[in-house]
Amino acid sequence: MTDGHVFEHLLRVREDRGGGFLLLIDPDRMTRERCVALAEAAAGCGVDALLVGTSFMLDNNFNDAVTAIKAVTSLPVIIFPGSFAQLTPKADAVLFTSLLSGRNADYLIGEQVRGAPLIKWFGLETIPTGYMLVESGALTSVQYISGTMPIPRTKFDIACAHALAAQYLGMKLVYFEAGSGAVQPVPEDMIAMVASYIDIPIVVGGGLRTPEDCSSRIEAGASFVVVGNLMEGEAGFEYLRQMTSAAHPKEPIEV
């Protein structure tokens, strides 16, 4: 993908398929072989784009991981950074996230200021994204690393206000995140209320373990669902196909 068309690709996917499925590849939690195998199989399994990122890099292999992933896929590869250190010119775009649900200045604007010159230098397409953590029943990695409180899962009004602020700040997406290792995914009722309140696409990730989890979030009003942890082990590609199919309501389900 070139010339800044990744976001347009996502919008086309939402229009043509009724929703989108993004596969998150975490180089910290998978072997290089597993990362490459998932990336290579992703398009054939119905994945619409790849996210690459992690909460905490344990070694300096991020650029190499993205390079290896890009070598085996024609899908857009989008950085989902845990910090400004997770930037590389090898990707197609970056979710330029601001953790709006928290009040930690480093994740509201500090990391973004550090990363902006690198993004300009690399020529990466940016997709400004309002990032919101939602209470999920467990202390997740991103909650621990960011030192912020998630939005309570029953406080739909708080979720709506944060999402509307993201829209008014000019962001292109809002991303509701239950987090890696979430016990419960983002509630459908919260997604539905936010979708009726704002005009920009909603991304939902964390704790989505079944095709029904994916389809119900799309039906509630999410434009895209993100799955990562589920595929970090030995889950097979047939199950990945079932998950992607559930996120594409305009396409017939294969039986």
Which pLDDT tens digit goes with each residue over 3-54?
559 999 999 999 999 999 999 999 988 889 999 999 999 999 999 999 999 8
Specify the amino acid at residue 205.
Answer: G
* Domain encompassing residue 29: 6-246
44 in any annotated domain: yes
252 in any annotated domain: no
**CATH code at 193?**
3.20.20.390
pTM, to two decimals:
0.96
Candidate from 18-27, 58-67, 69-78, 107-116 with smallest mean pLDDT = 58-67
HSE-CB at 138 with a 13 A cutoff on CA atoms is 15
215 in any annotated domain: yes
Which pLDDT tens digit goes with each residue over 96-132?
999 999 999 999 999 999 999 999 999 999 999 999 9
253 in any annotated domain: no
34 in any annotated domain: yes
Which pLDDT tens digit goes with each residue over 139-196?
998 999 999 999 999 999 999 999 999 999 999 999 999 998 799 999 999 999 999 9
Domain count within the chain:
1
77 in any annotated domain: yes
Q: Residue 175's beta-bridge partner residues?
A: 131, 203
Q: Which residues of 72-101 are buried (b: 16+ CB within 10 A; e: fewer)?
A: bbebbbbbbbbbbebbbebbbbbbbbbbbb
